[in-house]
Amino acid sequence: MKRIAFILAIFITGFCKAETGYELWLRYQPIANAQYVNACKQLIRSLEIKGTSPTLRAARSELERGLNGMLRINLPLSHSGSILLGKPENIPAITPAIKEQLSKAGTEGFLIKTITIGGKNRILIAGNTDQALLYGVFHFLRLIQTEQPVRQLDILSVPRSPLRLLNHWDNPDRTIERGYAGFSLWQWNNLPAYIDQRVIDYARANASIGINGTVLTNVNANALILTPEFLQKVKALADVFRVYGIKTFLTARFSAPIEIGGLKTADPLDPAVREWWKKKADSIYQLIPDFGGFLVKANSEGQPGPQDYERTHADGANMLAEALAPHKGIVMWRAFVYSHTSDDRFKQAYEEFKPLDGKFSSNVLVQVKNGPIDFQPREPFSPLFGAMPATPLMMEFQLTQEYLGQSTHLVYQATLYKETLDADTYTNGKGSPVSSTLSGFAGVANIGNDLNWCGHPFAQSNWYALGRLSWDYTLSSETIATEWIKQTFTPQPAFVQPVLKMMMRSRELLVNYMTPLGLTHMMYNDHHYGPMPWGNTLNRPDWNPVYYHKADKAGIGFNRTGSGSNALRQYAAPVQQQFENIDNCPDDYLLWFHHASWDHKMQSGRTLWDELCYRYHTATDSVRAMQQQWKSLQRFVDAERFSHVQQMLAIQASEAAWWRDACLLYFQTFSGKPFPAGYEQPKHDLEYYKDLRIHLTY
Ligand code: BDP
């Protein structure tokens, strides 16, 4: 019996052909469910396509590739194809009701609808632009790859946000700041003459999830990108991206007029500087007529900016906005600033930007990180959301897991994104979630030239989630994860269900084995990998972990109430009320806002010290359980990806224990309390963990 089971297992895994992960969620593998395939085959036999633009050619080739892969259908062109792809003006048979539906689709929304023409059922994929049609095709393929019924379709899907961008922190030498998945996709040396297939596949993947813009370069910007030589290379990439509905953006180094323009100043009010930027913008638009605009990090972490000339962020942004405006370009000006003079880094962005509300030109957006500090495993939402009603704001999430285990730990971040998007700002009364305050989304990309793009096989899900959520932030994390699992691995429920559970819990586990209960920024200096709660050697206090947790004999946590830094005051009153009383502040945020005593009674009934021990231990145990869970799913996954995830989970499990032991031993030096009975003992003493030196190279 055992022998048969063994042979069967080999037989089944034999079907899972080795995969590198390169295909992402666009694998289009043959669908095993014969009934489903037959049902599709009755409905899908040929294609009528209205138009011949490069975008429509891409849509057609994607349809052919997808249907051929999944259903083994060769899709001939026909004058009355069972799939009809086109814009309303090209479809004579279109009814007023459909026209009415499409009038709500804007320039990017699409309609997928079963219609009857001449007594024949057809699947109409329609939209008002070619880009919308491409989105419709990708959605249709998603329906099939996730084995959704396609018999009676009536789907109108319109993006909720007009700007859905990736931000690459890629340098001209192809290193990637905070990149954990290889080197940059942009092969500057071979551009513009050579276009790597990867660039095309990158564009396909983005279009499939609705991403419509990409910033190619690091926010810690290099003016080189704005030189004529590099702009030719950028143009070559932009020409590819345009086909897939993706606009190209660049980061603008504020001091570029000095560095590559030969000027003596970059003062935004200096006429020569303004003229330089106008000419620069004109020259870019000559090459790239649909260039998106600039993303700028200014006067932050050593970057130049308008404050170098005693001008404001608004002065700087508006100067660039003026240069871009004639071409309909935009400026995304980052609000990631913090100065060494502030008593609480939490407050800095709000203090600098809130007074500038209403002072920015109409083509400037202020781009705000999700939380007030810096992409930590859990942060409350940034108080700027909802606080600048006269300024369009963009959300910046970090897909690349700088502070979340980089490309080693399995963390599905959609739950983090949703937690922020759904948080109520109360700025227009109850029911004003962060999502309602946004005009756009940006995700700091986790993409490099690793075989599987993102390093960890599950990191792809964060790229996927960013696209899907910026298209529709009302989608749930579960829905997005389910789609992703089905397409990336298999739609078999016996696989989807447990993996969904793993993904949904993964971020919470990470919070609990790294920085539970509202602890924050306790990672190693510089590379931010591994625990260093004792860190206090960097010359700016707000770069040191001890600044954030403030552990002492009395307790732990950062008092941001009225008796402390009073950062809480930056939120609307009902949000303040959620957090300001130590006795009912939610456990997950307690140490963000309070310096609580070690004996503080938590909502669980445990003392703070016991709760800390409980969280660190249970999270570590849960990572081990996740390892076992994955092991039990081997038969569903090809050997390569199975083993990749398995090896990563083993590292994650041992590193969770490292975090647990290093942090608890260190905090014990303040609490003076024993570890509660029944817990695994630390493997080493505190000095051992303090002496560990972690050198990372990627
Ligand atoms: C920090 C990163 C740093 C980035 C900075 C930013 O450590 O590499 O340059 O964010 O967002 O988290 O500008």
Catalytic annotation present for 374? yes
Please give the class, per CATH, of domain 513-558+595-691: alpha beta
Catalytic: which of 89, 301, 343, 680?
A: 301
Q: What is the pLDDT of residues 352-387, one digit of tens each?
A: 999 999 999 999 999 999 999 999 999 999 999 999
What are the tens digits of pLDDT across the range 218-248?
999 999 999 999 999 999 999 999 999 999 9
For ligand 1, atom 11, name the residue with the nearest CA.
336
Output the pLDDT for position 10: 46
Expressed in angstroms and rounded, the spacing between residue 301 Cα and the centre of ligand 1 is 8
Q: Is there an atom of ligand 1 within 6 Å of 378 CB?
A: no
What is the CA(441)–ligand 1 centre distance, in A? 17
* pLDDT value, residue 118: 81
Residue 204's pLDDT is 98
Does 336 contact ligand 1 (Cβ within 6 A)? yes
Nearest to 367 by CA among 396, 345, 389: 396
Choosing from 301, 303, 401 the residue with most ligand 1 atoms within 8 A of its CB, the one to mutate for a pocket test is 301
Residue nearest to atom 9 of ligand 1 (CA): 220
Q: Is the pLDDT confidence value at 9 over 70?
A: no
From its phi and psi, is residue 493 left (phi > 0), alpha (psi between -120 and 50) or beta? alpha
The confidence band for 1, taking pLDDT boundaries of 50, 70 and 90, is very low
pLDDT for 667 beyond 60: yes
Report the C-alpha gap between 534 and 662 in whole angstroms: 9
Which residue owns the Cα nearest ligand 1 atom 1?
374
pLDDT tens column, 518-543: 999 999 999 999 999 999 999 888 89
Q: How close is the Cα of 153 to the center of ligand 1, in Å? A: 45
Ligand 1 pocket, residue 178 CB under 6 Å: yes
Cα 260 to middle of ligand 1, angstroms: 25
- Give the pLDDT score at 93: 81
Distance 169 CA to ligand 1 centre (A): 9
Question: Does 22 score more than 60 pLDDT?
Answer: yes
Q: Which ligand 1 atom is at minimum distance from the Cα of 300?
A: 13
From residue 385, give the alpha-carbon distance in Å to each of 299, 360, 426, 436, 507.
21, 16, 10, 9, 23
Distance CA 628, CA 630 (A): 5
Is 402 catalytic? The answer is: yes
**Domain span(s) for CATH 3.90.1330.10 in the chain:** 513-558+595-691
Does residue 374 line the site of ligand 1, with CB under 6 A? yes
Residues 6 or more apart whose CB falls under 8 angstroms from that of 255 comprise: 223, 266, 304
Ligand 1 atom at minimal distance to the Cα of residue 178? 8
pLDDT in tens, 290-336: 999 999 999 999 999 999 999 999 999 999 999 999 999 999 999 99
545-589 pLDDT tens trace: 999 999 999 999 999 999 999 999 999 999 999 999 999 999 999
pLDDT at res. 119: 86
Which residues share a beta bridge with 215? Answer: 167, 249
Q: Tell me how far CA of residue 5 lies from CA of 360, 498, 631, 635, in angstroms.
A: 68, 22, 16, 11
Q: What is the mean pLDDT of the chain?
A: 96
- Ligand 1 contact, 375 CB (< 6 A): yes
What DSSP letter does each residue of 628-650 carry, written as one string? HHHHTTGGGS-HHHHHHHHHHHH
Quick one: which atom of ligand 1 is closest to the CA of 396?
A: 11
Query: Of the listed 352, 402, 483, 621, which one is catalytic?
Result: 402
- Residues of the chain within CATH 3.20.20.80 domain(s) are 164-474
Closest residue to atom 10 of ligand 1, CA basis: 374
Query: Sign of torsion, CA 462 464 466 469?
Result: negative
Q: How are beta strands 120-127 and 110-117 bridged, if at all?
A: antiparallel
Q: List, by residue range, all CATH 3.30.379.10 domains of the chain.
A: 31-157
- Count other C-beta atoms under 10 Å from residue 664's C-beta: 20
Residue 174 burial (CB count, 10 A): 17
Residues 6 or more apart whose CB falls under 8 angstroms from that of 533 comprise: 522, 545, 546, 549, 551, 662, 663, 666, 667
- Which of 130, 267, 374, 621 is the catalytic position? 374
CA of 87 to the centre of ligand 1 (A): 43
pLDDT of 471 higher than 70:
yes
Per-residue model confidence (pLDDT) at position 6: 43
| Residue nearest ligand 1's atom 2 by CA | 178
pLDDT at 52: 93
Alpha-carbon separation of residue 591 from 380, 442, 602 (angstroms):
11, 28, 12
C-alpha 302 to ligand 1 mean position (Å): 11
The per-residue pLDDT for 672 is: 98
* Average pLDDT for 280-285: 98
pLDDT value at 147 more than 80: yes
**Per CATH, is 164-474 categorized as 3.40.630.10?**
no
How many Å lie between the centroid of ligand 1 and the Cα of residue 355? 24
Going by CA atoms, what residue is nearest to atom 12 of ligand 1? 374
Q: What is the pLDDT of residue 697?
A: 66
418 Cα to the center of ligand 1, angstroms? 22
Rounded to whole angstroms, the Cα distance separating 548 from 557 reads 7
Q: Are 324 and 363 in contact (CB under 8 A)?
A: yes
Q: At what angle do helices 493-514 and 608-631 cross, to 10 degrees?
A: 150
Q: Which atom of ligand 1 is nearest to the CA of 374?
A: 12
Residue 297 CB less than 6 A away from ligand 1: yes
Residue 476: pLDDT band (50, 70, 90) is: very high
**What is the DSSP code string of 427-445?**
BTBSS-BGGGGEEEEEEE-
**Mutation test residue for ligand 1: of 175, 400, 402, the one with most atoms within 8 Å of CB:** 402
Residue 83 and residue 123 in contact, taking contact as beta carbons nearer than 8 Å: yes
- The Å distance, Cα 386 to ligand 1 centre, comes to 24
Ligand 1 atom closest to the Cα of residue 403 is: 12
pLDDT in tens, 620-642: 999 999 999 999 999 999 999 99
Please count the helices (runs of H) and the strands (runs of E) in the chain.
Answer: 21, 15
Q: Using a 6 Å cutoff on CB, does residue 524 contact ligand 1?
A: no
Residue 13: predicted pLDDT: 47
Closest ligand 1 atom, residue 297 Cα: 13
| Share of residues in the chain with pLDDT > 70 (%) | 98
User: What mean pLDDT do residues 502-531 have?
Assistant: 97
Pocket test of ligand 1: the residue of 297, 336, 337 to mutate, having most ligand atoms within 8 Å of its CB, is 336
Instruction: Give the range with max mean pLDDT: 13-17, 32-36, 74-78.
Output: 32-36
| pLDDT at residue 210 is higher than 60 | yes
Tell me what pLDDT residue 12 has. 47
Atom of ligand 1 nearest to the CA of 169: 9
| Structure token pair of residue 554 | 């009395």
DSSP assignment letter at 557? S
Residue 693: band (very low, low, confident or very high) from pLDDT cuts 50, 70, 90: confident
Q: Residue 15 has what pLDDT?
A: 56
Centre of ligand 1 to C-alpha 26, Å, is 31
Q: Name the phi and psi angles at 292, rounded to 5.
A: -80, -40
Ligand 1 centre distance from Cα of residue 491 (Å): 37
Q: Which residue bears the tokens 């599905």?
A: 412
Predicted local confidence at residue 698, as pLDDT? 60
Query: pLDDT tens digit string along 67-103?
Result: 999 999 999 999 889 999 999 999 988 899 999 999 9
Nearest to 557 by CA among 525, 613, 597: 597
Residue 2 predicted with pLDDT over 60? no
220 Cβ inside 6 Å of ligand 1: yes
219 within ligand 1 shell (Cβ under 6 A): yes
Does 1.10.645.10 match the CATH number of domain 31-157?
no
Predicted confidence at residue 4, as pLDDT, reads 52
Total Cβ atoms within 10 A of residue 194 = 10
Can you give the pLDDT at residue 7? 46
> Looking at residues 394-423, what average pLDDT do you find?
98
